[in-house]
Amino acid sequence: MRYGFARLLRLPYSCGFGAQSPSAFQFINYVISEKLPYYAYSDLNSEGSKCSQKMLRLYFRLANFLQAKRWLYFGNDSEIVRQYVVSGCRKTQFCSLSSLKQVEDKSVMLISEANFTAQELIAALPTVPNQCVVVIEDIYRNKSNRMLWKSILASEHVSFSFDLYLCGILFFDNRPKENFVVNF
């Protein structure tokens, strides 16, 4: 019920309304809000709720869009997430990690359960962070993830951020800082 109410409040933010940047508008329309079925949806098996299927398909589209070399997953139950990510980009290496000390190549970080602070995460980011994307799940339902989201969002290293209610997506590059609320 809470998620449905949040979607109703975010209705003015659907379909990229309010996004002045062409790259942000395209990202919202062709990655986040894409409704057309992709080639691998029928092959992938997703157990769980409709909400989790929605998130898994977002990870598939994000992997397909970014074509990152590595996805670093912080959390539990990584096998089904790995299936969707690797189906989206076959050259991606999917690594399930437990601490930031194991991070070597920073392409995409998917944080399901945060057991570190925002300062530790920012310190682990590369010095040239233009290829780094961080996805944080449950930014409104999990208190530690919410605190991590707010702390990283305040950082000067973040250029674009997309608040999808179920997760947050942060881009680290040299563009001017913009924050987007998206009805997902």
Question: Does residue 139 lie in a domain region?
Answer: yes
The predicted pLDDT at position 155 comes to: 83
Question: Does residue 28 lie in a domain region?
Answer: yes
Q: Which of 180, 113, 114, 127 is nearest to 157 (CA)?
A: 127
The predicted pLDDT at position 133 comes to: 87
Contacts 24+ apart (CB under 8 A), 2-9: 3/51, 3/165, 3/166, 6/140, 6/165, 7/165, 7/183
The predicted pLDDT at position 59 comes to: 92
Question: Does residue 39 lie in a domain region?
Answer: no
With 0-12 / 13-18 / 19 or more C-beta atoms within 10 angstroms meaning exposed / middle / buried, residue 118 is: middle
**Going by C-beta distance under 8 Å and a sequence separation of 6 or more, which residues neighbour residue 6?**
140, 165
Q: What is the CATH number of the domain that holds 103?
A: 3.40.50
Question: Does residue 56 lie in a domain region?
Answer: no
pTM of the model: 0.83
Question: Does residue 58 lie in a domain region?
Answer: no
The predicted pLDDT at position 135 comes to: 93
181 beta partners: 163
Question: Terminus-to-terminus CA distance in the chain, angstroms?
Answer: 15
| pLDDT lower than 50: segments of the chain | 128
Domains identified in the chain, total number = 1
Contacts 24+ apart (CB under 8 A), 151-160: 151/117, 151/118, 151/119, 152/118, 152/121, 152/122, 153/179, 155/118, 155/122, 157/122, 157/125, 157/129, 160/21, 160/24, 160/27
The boundaries of the domain holding residue 135 are 2-33+64-181
The predicted pLDDT at position 141 comes to: 84
Instruction: Using alpha carbons, list the distances in angstroms from residue 140 to 59, 121, 134, 143.
Output: 19, 19, 16, 7
The predicted pLDDT at position 8 comes to: 59
Question: Does residue 96 lie in a domain region?
Answer: yes
The predicted pLDDT at position 168 comes to: 93
Q: How many helices (H) and strands (E) does the chain have?
A: 6, 7
